[in-house]
Amino acid sequence: MVEQQQDSSRKRRRFACEEAPPQQPQAYVENRNGSSRKRTDDREGHFEFSLGDNLTPRYKILSKMGEGTFGRVLECWDRQTREYVAIKVVRSIHKYREAAMIEIDVLEQLAKNEKGGSHCVQILTWFDYRNHICIDYVLALYPCEGSNVFERLGPSLFDFLRRNEYSPFPVDLVREFGRQLLESVAYMHDLRLIHTDLKPENILLVSSEYVKLPGRKRSSSDETRFRCLPKSSVIKLIDFGSTAYDNHKHSSVVSTRHYRAPEVILGLGWSYPCDMWSIGCILVELCLGEALFQTHENLEHLAMMERVLGPLPEHMTRRADRGAEKYFRRSRLNWPEGAVSRESIRSVKKLDGLKKMLSPYLGCTRSSFIDLLHQLLKFDPLERITAREALRHPFFET
């Protein structure tokens, strides 16, 4: 039983479900009327359910909010507190259960030191149900007027871009997103925590509300195209399943591909600066509407980096580990000679330098934003700006 703490007028606590033991291969899922039926997990260890089922007597399953490699996120009604909650139901596979326990530990550390303004999602409770670790998150933050039902967290920034046909966000909105993201990462780094998986999918808008604005016509015969903008710029950082403590043993590869820092690809080790590289990639993506480095292969990825940011430092290429040294000849990137296809070469060639790429989107804030991005996207992690330093950058004083 973990230490009980007050959390926004609710107590967070681990509680055990007095039902079938976790090792039991078949689960009994409660129907709406309280009866039960046999239910097994699917072949990949995902929890199977029907809408209206009970996830323990306390929670009623209302919808599936999302699904990933870790498991499923379910929207539930908490009968005890009469609130909507998001419950992450982790796959019943050992490595995912281990990752979930790490995430719980991180979330409790974040909550324990929370003084307001961290922009990190809050944990309410966690429990083990039918061999599935279940994490109960705050789905609601601000009470609606005249009601004890709360506003729900909205879509991720990636989902918002996708639903909006990848139309870029205005730079003023990107500034607000960037400020909050840096505040959350600075808070984590102060606690010696490294997120390692920063990406638009892991940044949620607090509100789902948006405004619809007319877009440009492609030609005189086209109908006016509309784009949407969120009504609120408030965001929350989620998914701490890959978070690492600075003083613990690290895996060699971290971060989702498009947001992976060069030191990770080169096998040079990594620390806090890998988060800062990811933030730089995210801010560019929010301005362009698409990922900066759209690739799934290391050599192409490094070639894209050089195309956008200039040559990799020789002191880094010379120290590349055995897995990465094959990408170089005489400490220079073996490109385009080592490309796997002509399409790969074309993908790299179509990229421009960072300044030229972003200039059409930035207006009067161009110079300060480009400078911030260059500080975030320094190849050498020792030269990369920290989260606290970035928050003091002139871009955020505009």
- The catalytic residues are 197
b/e map 144-180, b = 16+ CB within 10 Å: eeeeeebbbbbbbbbebbeebeebbbbbeebbbbbbb
> Is residue 375 classed as helix, strand or coil in its secondary structure?
helix
Report the distance separating Cα 304 and Cα 34, nearest Å. 57
Report the distance separating Cα 377 and Cα 385, nearest Å. 9
Q: What pairing do the DSSP bridges indicate for beta strands 328-329 and 54-55?
A: unpaired
| Residue 94, CB-side half-sphere exposure with 13 Å CA sphere | 0
Instruction: Give the list of residues 6+ apart from residue 133 with CB closer than 8 angstroms, or none.
Output: 89, 90, 96, 97, 100, 101, 104, 126, 127
Q: Which residue has the tokens 């409790």?
A: 108
For residues 380 and 313, the answer to whether their CB atoms sit within 8 Å is: yes
> Is residue 77 classed as helix, strand or coil in its secondary structure?
strand
Beta bridge partners of 244: 194
Report the distance separating Cα 121 and Cα 107, nearest Å. 8
* φ and ψ of 235, to 5 deg: -125, 165
* DSSP output for 183-232: HHHHHHHHTTEE-----GGGEEES---EEEEE---SSTTSPPPEEEEES-
For residues 130 and 20, the answer to whether their CB atoms sit within 8 Å is: yes
Nearest to 241 by CA among 202, 267, 206: 202
* Torsion angle of the four alpha carbons 121, 123, 126, 132, in this order, in degrees rounded to the nearest 10: 0
Report the distance separating Cα 97 and Cα 90, nearest Å. 7
Nearest to 384 by CA among 304, 277, 303: 277
